[in-house]
Structure 1
Amino acid sequence: MNSHCIYMILSMVFPLQYSITAQASSCNGGLSDLIQTERGIDSIVADVMLQMHASTSLQSSNGTGVTINLRSWKPHHFRHHHHLKNVHGVLIIIGWGTMLPIGVMIARYFKNFPMRWKEWYSFHIMFQGIGYTLGTIGWGIGICLENTFRLHISKAQRVLSIIVFICTTIQMLAIFWQPKKEAEHRRCWEIYHHFLGYAVIVLIITNIFLGVNDEGQAEKWRWAYGVILGVLGLIALALETYRWIKSNQLRQLIELNSNMYTFP
């Protein structure tokens, strides 16, 4: 290909911005034109790179005039992703990690012993229902984040969260499966319901701490939920101590009454 052909091709590719002067009088002249062409192409590439670096907005090719600003889109995309991660964590901590344990404590300490509260069942169902709903919404957001934003979730946490969801759902459905007090298998149902409830609380706490480790500010999340667990633990310890004291007093009273009727 001679220099005149090169000149025509480059003029068609870059008609208004660049001109390359080609003179083909001899082999030396042709070589000089090729060198100039190469330099011209290098300058074109450099200029295009500078323009791309200076302006990061892309015009859509369908002629609609829609402009995508990459500089503003990336931070917005990141903020939206970060906001959803925070919502996911807060809902699970408040729902599964706080309200469900409170519901368990209400059933344990306010049903009959050590303190009898007539409204215990209503509050037990209320805390369990709200906690289950909030935690499940947070769990669903986590699944969406994993699928849409490729959120990194460890395999152990993924499996554990599914187990927690299944077990909490079974516990909520147990309300409709609850047999009457006079039924023969009522005692078996109570044992299963209590055992599964305590096991779910342990799984929830483990799952939350596994999830917190994947967060950007893991230390703050651990401290926040640690404080919540500490408060709940102190309340449970106080109620358990009171339960133990009342149990001892009741046992001593029974023994005293038994001795009174045994020895005249």
Structure 2
Amino acid sequence: MSADLVTWLLTPISGRMDHELPAWTAWHGRAMVAAWAILLPLGVLVARYFKVMPRQAWPDELDNKTWWHWHRILQTAGVLSMTLGCSLALGRAHDTSALAQCHRWFGWAVMASGWVQVLGGVWRGSKGGGTTAIGLGASSEDAMRGDHYDMTARRYRFEYVHKVVGTAAILLAVVVIGMGLKLADAPRWMVAVLTVWWLALISVAGHLQRTGRCIDTYQAIWGPDPIHPGNRMRVIGWGVRRHSRESWKRRMGGTEYVQSIEDKQDRRQS
């Protein structure tokens, strides 16, 4: 890497050689980038493409909660980082330019979207599908009832809002971060690194989408059997797929996939 390129990367976007920021501005930017460029997008990626893990023997092995635990950890950390970043800017931002005004309003929209996701998760309803503790007095039939298993109107509303708001928030956050970099006159290397990072995320997501890994949450939990009520309803979300046992095995590598699963099952039994 030449010295000229290093100098260019270290120079602020405007080309000015002097670049000083108040501490609150720097930490506001770091917290927001950590939230909306790293933690929250990774949480979305995990939830969308890893409901069935790569070596999981689906549909014989159902409801692998690895994706759920990581989704919850990443989204919680992201929302907390976002909230911290927002709190650092309260009462301190006095730039009245059009760009700064847009950054603030769009930033508040992103902030609200993040908390809508949190509050919406609280009101997503019960799960059901036999996951209720029958030993606590519920009958087998009662244990099957639940907002998710039955795909009630409440669950439908939650899934639509959760997916639409989440996607819109991530896309808007990219714009807000870009505005923030411009307002802070950030070094060019930051723009370059974030651009490469987002392109990498898009590339990974595109590959996982093409290989059919965006499986319906309902199927990931309860399998493809049409006896389950949710499998007889319209799938929710763009690009979300449903699979039969056979189509899943074909997508995951045909006989090689079957052999790897059988080997895994043999190791468990031995």
Structure 1 residues 168-207: aligned runs within 5 Å: 168-181=114-127, 182-183=146-147, 184-185=152-153, 186-207=155-176
TM-score, normalised with respect to structure 1: 0.57
Residue matched to 1:102? 42
Of 136, 149, 168 in structure 1, the residue corresponding to residue 83 of structure 2 is: 136
Residue matched to 2:138? none
Q: Say whether 1:85 aligns with 2:25.
A: yes
Runs of 4+ in 1 over 3 A off after TM superposition: 112-117, 150-153, 244-254
Residue matched to 1:146? 93
Residue matched to 2:233? none
Of 151, 155, 175 in structure 1, the residue corresponding to residue 101 of structure 2 is: 155
- Residues 48, 214 of structure 2: 8 Å contact kept: no
- Residues 208, 214 of structure 2: 8 Å contact kept: no
- C-alpha distance in 2, partners of 1:91/1:160? 16
**Post-superposition offset of 1:136:** 1.6
Structure 2 residues not aligned, in runs of 5+: 1-18, 57-63, 128-145, 216-239, 248-270
- C-alpha distance in 1, partners of 2:214/2:78? 31
- C-alpha distance in 2, partners of 1:224/1:244? 27
The AA in structure 1 aligned to 2:51 is K
- C-alpha distance in 1, partners of 2:111/2:55? 31
**Post-superposition offset of 1:115:** 7.6
Structure 1 residues not aligned, in runs of 5+: 1-77, 255-264
Aligned-pair identity (%): 22
Q: What per-residue deviation string (whole Å, max 9, x for no partner) do you get for residues 223-251 of structure 1?
A: 12212212222221221122279999957
Could you say what secondary structure the match of 1:131 adopts? helix
Could you say what secondary structure the match of 2:184 adopts? coil
Could you say what secondary structure the match of 2:211 adopts? helix
TM-score, normalised with respect to structure 2: 0.56
Decide whether aligned partners of structure 1 residues 196 and 115 sit closer, same or farther in structure 2, where only a CA change above 3 A counts: farther
Could you say what secondary structure the match of 1:213 adopts? helix
The structure that has the greater radius of gyration is 1
Equivalent pairs counted in the alignment come to: 174
Could you say what secondary structure the match of 1:145 adopts? coil
The AA in structure 2 aligned to 1:208 is I
Structure 1 residues 42-81: aligned runs within 5 Å: 81=21
